[in-house]
Amino acid sequence: MKTVISTDRIAAVELLRKGELVALPTETVYGLAASALNPIAVAKIFEAKERPRFDPLIVHLPNREWLKRIAELPAGHRQLISKLADKFWPGPFTMVLPKRKVVPDIVTAGLDTVAVRLSAHCVFAEIVGELDEPLAAPSANRFGHVSPTTAQHVFDELGGRIPLIIDAGPTEHGIESTIVAVRDGRIEILRRGPITGEQLSEFADIVCVAVTQRIFAPGQLPSHYTPTTPLLLIDNAEAFPLQKNQRVGLLALGGACPSPRSSQLEGFAAVRNLSDRGDLREAASNLFRYLRELDALGLDLIVAERIPSRGLGAAIMDRLERATH
């Protein structure tokens, strides 16, 4: 199959209407979209990604109105769910809710819950709005690979397998949406992301569901975002014992004064600084791109500097920890 990269939104809507796959930009990462109410179209997502059928997909709504058509809003939690939606939608935020019958089982991998999100990306919003049907869309990478943040990444992952990739430049956040479930009046964080625990704690008590406690799906398994090059987390790159004939790449997060550092980092075969200013938003948006770039250099090892596990730092560390397995 020939894969076209373009900005032709009308072609995207036409393909989706016909039950075909189209890769679309969102504010987090690029997604591989199909009509969520068409089980045959959704099956094509699993094929193209080589994704196991037990891993459920996120349903992206055309607008808030669609929420009650897709999901049940349990009476006891309706208020909290509405408040969260008011605050974080449209945006990089996904809620797992009891599903309605209209959602095909293949979308939820047989679970009685469905993950729903409303994307703020103007191109995504325009396409799903024009279609006026929800879209199932996982990240547009092959199973187990890091998520794509540019159209070219999608092409590298899925070229030849899908007809169309809509290009809207690099994505804003660079890491996948925060996923929560509301249970017993508390917010359970199932996947950390751009909406932080600190932000959520203003609405209810929060619990981070440890990976070992409850594994719904591979996105929550300890190892998921794996580059082919071994990756090691370290505390301080300057103190890393480089071996003579070992080619090591460094993924760093620059602090206030990056220039004096650079001379001390000469021994590394390649260095990518997630953010010279030490800005976590910038770091998150560069994370997967730099991991991909370092992975493509055929190095012996990639080392990544740990960052404080606070706010967005926790979401970044979460991706890095999984990538080390």
Number of neighbouring beta carbons within 10 Å of residue 10: 9
Candidates 22, 36, 56, 67; binder of ligand TXA (CB under 6 A) is 56
Sequence-separated (6 or more) residues with CB below 8 Å from residue 86: none
- Judged by beta carbon, residue 15 or residue 271, the one nearer ligand TXA is 15
CA 49 to each of CA 63, 103, 122, 129: distance values in angstroms, whole numbers, following the listed order: 27, 21, 25, 25
- Judged by beta carbon, residue 148 or residue 313, the one nearer ligand TXA is 148
Candidates 26, 108, 139, 286; binder of Mg ion (CB under 5 A) is 139
* Position 318 contacts ligand TXA (CB under 6 A): no
- Judged by beta carbon, residue 100 or residue 277, the one nearer ligand TXA is 100
CA pair distance 64, 263, nearest whole angstrom: 52
Candidates 135, 190, 195, 271; binder of ligand TXA (CB under 6 A) is 190
* Position 115 contacts ligand TXA (CB under 6 A): yes
Residue 96 binding target from Mg ion, ligand TXA, none, CB below 5 to 8 Å by type: ligand TXA
Q: Which stretch binds ligand TXA (CB under 6 A): 53-61, 199-207, 245-253, 275-283?
A: 53-61
| Residue 83 in tokens | 């408040």
In the complex, least distance from residue 100 CB atom to ligand TXA, rounded to whole angstroms: 13
Candidates 149, 220, 229, 285; binder of ligand TXA (CB under 6 A) is 220
| Residue 324 in tokens | 């080390």
* Position 113 contacts ligand TXA (CB under 6 A): yes
Residue 196 binding target from ligand TXA, Mg ion, none, CB below 5 to 8 Å by type: none
Sequence-separated (6 or more) residues with CB below 8 Å from residue 18: none
| Residue 294 in tokens | 């370092």
- Judged by beta carbon, residue 139 or residue 286, the one nearer Mg ion is 139
- Tokens 């012996």 label which residue? 300
At residue 24, what is the residue type? L
CA pair distance 105, 141, nearest whole angstrom: 22
- Tokens 């797992």 label which residue? 96
CA pair distance 161, 48, nearest whole angstrom: 6
What are 6's strand-pairing partners? 166
Judged by the rule CB under 6 A, the positions of this chain that interact with ligand TXA are 26, 28-29, 31, 55-58, 92, 94, 96, 108, 111, 113-115, 117, 137-139, 176-177, 179, 190, 216-217, 219-220
Residues that bind Mg ion (CB under 5 A): 139
